[in-house]
């Protein structure tokens, strides 16, 4: 018995013991929630869905809709009542959630994924409870809300830092860091929006979803490892990797979506553009493709049939491609009627800075030889296009009102 306890604490377990330490809590939880789901469905069929008022105010997501949220808060009512009657302060529950969450990060960093996953899930459940306990007892206050919010960030960060440490010598380190970035930005953008008077709650990967996918994937991952790779001393825990990659992608998508919503809500309203954003992107991309094709054909013709050196042919091709791109965007994409000379000057400035950003970005990525330079080239091109070229061509180069607005801002002579 003593040896079994020591083996459990140290993690020196046999394959079967590794399976049961991960599976036993899962079987109990699955049995409880499945029975609860059956009873919940029967209850809904007889009396309708028991709607949780706080859930309605928090909204839903694509991954976890209102039905599942109402079901979750209905099925954990026994635990909720125990905590409410225990008399424990809401802040104590927040601190306990924080301690368990930080412990989960320490556990996964040491390779104890089952322990870390279940601790992380339990921390998430307690995090749901603390605010409700405070509001039910009418003890809610800004200090408690601040404590809860900050501890949530520590819990999320500790878990992801633990995973990053475990995967520090593998490619999984990158999605772990990406998930850490996205999980930090999602609540930050929301808090920033609330501070500016804008409610930003949309997105598929909110905290409930992050806890669910990351916690379940991590807690159950040792089962697959013990079944298929029992001899590995440092297993990959592929189920945890899948959850981590999923959270990394969707948390950053959610953060960008919220950021875009926030900026749009705070941006002063402009006259309706003659084209939609999708149409502008399509025509602008087509103009770039046509200009590139013209550039290539021109260089080929000048070198093969004109006898011009490749260097000077490339320079001439770039100029010709730029003229074609500018002309198509002016006439078709943006339907601009502004003066040509100032537009050409602005277009040249944007194109030159775009070339430097692309070259610099590719140069930075080549510092990492494990990344294929072709992939880096496409990544840099895409980022520069969406973050620099397209917005500046729309709002700066071909914005017919830009010069008029600048003139209006200048002080008039007496």
Identify the pLDDT of residue 54: 63
Identify the pLDDT of residue 64: 65
**Among 308, 335, 362, residue at a domain's last position:** 335
Would you put residue 377 in left (φ > 0), alpha (ψ -120 to 50) or beta? alpha
Residue 414, domain member (yes or no): no
Domain count, the chain: 3
Residue 34, domain member (yes or no): yes
Q: Same structural domain for residues 231 and 294?
A: no
Identify the pLDDT of residue 375: 81
Cα distances from 324 to residues 68, 201, 287, in angstroms, run 54, 43, 8
Residue 30, domain member (yes or no): yes
Domain that holds residue 65: 1-266
Residue 129, domain member (yes or no): yes
Q: Same structural domain for residues 170 and 225?
A: yes
C-alpha closest to that of 215 among 84, 65, 29: 29
Q: Same structural domain for residues 319 and 357?
A: no
Q: Same structural domain for residues 282 and 386?
A: no
**Among 233, 266, 299, residue at a domain's last position:** 266
Q: Same structural domain for residues 202 and 235?
A: yes
Identify the pLDDT of residue 364: 86
Q: Same structural domain for residues 172 and 103?
A: yes
Q: Same structural domain for residues 310 and 359?
A: no
**Among 234, 266, 298, residue at a domain's last position:** 266
Identify the pLDDT of residue 66: 67
Residue 409, domain member (yes or no): no
Identify the pLDDT of residue 408: 42
Identify the pLDDT of residue 178: 94
> Model-level pTM?
0.72
pLDDT by position in tens, the chain (length 414): 545 544 444 555 555 665 666 566 667 777 777 787 788 788 788 877 777 666 656 655 656 666 777 777 777 777 778 877 877 788 888 899 999 999 999 999 998 898 899 999 999 888 888 877 888 887 778 888 888 889 989 999 999 999 999 999 999 999 999 999 999 999 999 889 888 888 887 777 888 888 889 998 998 888 887 777 777 778 889 999 999 999 999 999 999 999 988 988 888 776 555 566 778 778 888 888 888 888 778 878 887 787 777 777 777 777 888 888 888 888 888 888 888 888 888 988 988 888 888 788 888 888 887 777 778 778 888 888 888 888 888 888 888 775 444 434 444 433
Identify the pLDDT of residue 413: 38
Identify the pLDDT of residue 411: 42
Residue 411, domain member (yes or no): no
């Amino acid at each position: 018995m003593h040896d079994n306890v020591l083996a459990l604490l140290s993690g020196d377990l046999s394959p079967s013991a590794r399976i049961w330490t991960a599976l036993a809590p899962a079987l109990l939880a699955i049995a409880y929630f499945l029975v609860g789901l059956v009873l919940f469905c029967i209850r809904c069929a007889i009396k309708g869905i028991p709607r949780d008022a706080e859930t309605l105010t928090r909204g839903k997501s694509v991954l976890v809709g209102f039905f599942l949220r109402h079901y979750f808060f209905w099925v954990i009512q026994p635990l909720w009542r125990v905590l409410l009657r225990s008399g424990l302060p809401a802040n104590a529950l927040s601190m306990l959630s924080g301690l368990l969450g930080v412990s989960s990060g320490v556990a996964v960093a040491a390779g104890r994924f089952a322990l870390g996953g279940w601790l992380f899930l339990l921390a998430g459940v307690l995090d749901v409870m603390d605010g409700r306990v405070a509001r039910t007892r009418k003890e809610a206050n800004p200090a408690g809300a601040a404590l809860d919010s900050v501890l949530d960030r520590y819990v999320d960060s500790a878990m992801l830092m633990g995973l990053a440490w475990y995967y520090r010598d593998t490619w999984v380190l990158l999605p772990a860091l990406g998930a850490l970035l996205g999980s930090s930005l999602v609540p930050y953008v929301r808090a920033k929006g609330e501070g500016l008077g804008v409610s930003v709650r949309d997105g598929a990967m909110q905290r409930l979803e992050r806890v669910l996918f990351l916690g379940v994937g991590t807690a159950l991952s040792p089962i697959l490892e013990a079944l298929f790779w029992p001899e590995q001393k440092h297993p990959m825990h592929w189920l945890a990797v899948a959850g981590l990659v999923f959270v990394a992608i969707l948390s950053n998508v959610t953060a960008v979506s919220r950021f875009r919503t926030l900026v749009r809500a705070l941006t002063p309203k402009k006259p309706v553009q003659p084209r939609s954003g999708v149409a502008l992107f399509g025509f602008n991309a087509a103009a770039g493709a046509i200009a590139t094709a013209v550039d290539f054909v021109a260089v080929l013709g000048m070198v093969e049939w004109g006898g011009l050196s490749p260097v000077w042919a490339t320079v001439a091709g770039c100029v010709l491609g730029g003229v074609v791109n500018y002309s198509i965007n002016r006439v078709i994409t943006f339907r601009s009627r502004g003066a040509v000379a100032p537009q050409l000057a602005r277009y040249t400035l944007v194109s030159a800075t775009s070339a430097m950003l692309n070259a610099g970005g590719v140069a930075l990525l080549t510092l990492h030889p494990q990344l294929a330079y072709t992939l880096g080239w496409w990544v840099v091109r895409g980022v520069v296009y969406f973050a620099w070229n397209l917005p500046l061509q729309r709002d700066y180069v071909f914005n017919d009102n830009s010069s008029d607005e600048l003139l209006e801002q200048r002080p008039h002579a007496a």
